[in-house]
Amino acid sequence: MTSLSNKVAFVTGGSRGIGAAIVKRLVADGAAVAFTYVSSAPKADALAAELTQQGGQVLAIRADSADAVALTAAIGQAAAAFGRLDILVNSAGIANGKAMEDHTLTEFRHMMAVHVEAPFVAAQAVLPHMPAGGRIITIGSNLAERVPGANTTLYATSKAALLGLTKGLARDLGPRRITVNLIQPGPTDTDMNPADGPYADWMRNQMAIPEFGRGADVAAFVAWVASEESRFVTGAALTIDGGMSI
């Protein structure tokens, strides 16, 4: 028996980057996993096929997290396929780094839709399918609490909003023994923020451990929060950033 045997997870944005690492780890730990993707159909299909071939139960669903109707329908589809949902991981994310005066209101609303509205919608949609002892986990950012550089106003604002969402949901769902936690990664080597990118050296200079994290590092943290070992942790913002925030 592995730590998540007989559990069912739903992961948004699971076809690439941190999301894909989370899907792989949850499957490795014994969970059946449904995950969403928007435009990376070949990656999503390849990931689902790879994990299924290894003996996992995996379902890839095309759904834009910015579309509340599509996200709600995807959660319903996953619950129908697997019977229930024990774990929700809100991992879908976007980046839009530029000067404050260059942002549009449309960009602001889209950032909020993906990073804040989607976790709220997903939490509401998953609750009818989530038994006592469930887990709601959102992937935030260390920029929610410390912003060491310019051109991150929209991103940092949206990630900071998750602090309030996490604490409020933890209070609301505690009586049902459902925990709600926020995991805040720092620089992590993905296609969105590669370790050899133009700002990578600057980021490393801000860190106590001067190297980028791996998707697997974040996924391991998620797997622990999803497990029974974390049963008494809720409403927490858990940072994993190589000491960038200290």
For the segment 112-124, what is each residue's pLDDT rounded down to a tens digit? 999 999 999 999 9
What is the structure's pLDDT at 1? Answer: 56
CB atoms within 10 A of CB 187: 24
What is the structure's pLDDT at 237? Answer: 98
Cβ-based neighbours of 143, under 8 Å, separated by 6 or more:
152, 155, 156, 159
Nearest to 68 by CA among 105, 119, 128: 119
User: Of all residues in the chain, what percent carry a pLDDT higher than 70?
Assistant: 100
Catalytic member of 155, 181, 184, 213? 155
What is the pTM (predicted TM-score) of this model? 0.97
Rounded to an integer, the average pLDDT of 78-90 is 98
Using 50, 70 and 90 to split pLDDT, how confident is the model at 71? very high
CA torsion angle 127 128 132 135 (round to 10): -30
What's the mean per-residue pLDDT of the chain? 96
Using 50, 70 and 90 to split pLDDT, how confident is the model at 40? confident
How far, in Å, are 63, 101, 164, 224, 225 from residue 138 at the CA level? 17, 29, 12, 13, 11
Rounded to an integer, the average pLDDT of 135-164 is 96
Q: Convert the pLDDT of each residue in 183-242 to its tens digit.
A: 999 999 998 899 999 999 999 999 999 999 999 999 999 999 999 999 999 999 999 999
Using 50, 70 and 90 to split pLDDT, how confident is the model at 175? very high
Class of domain 8-240: alpha beta
155 as an active site residue: the answer is yes
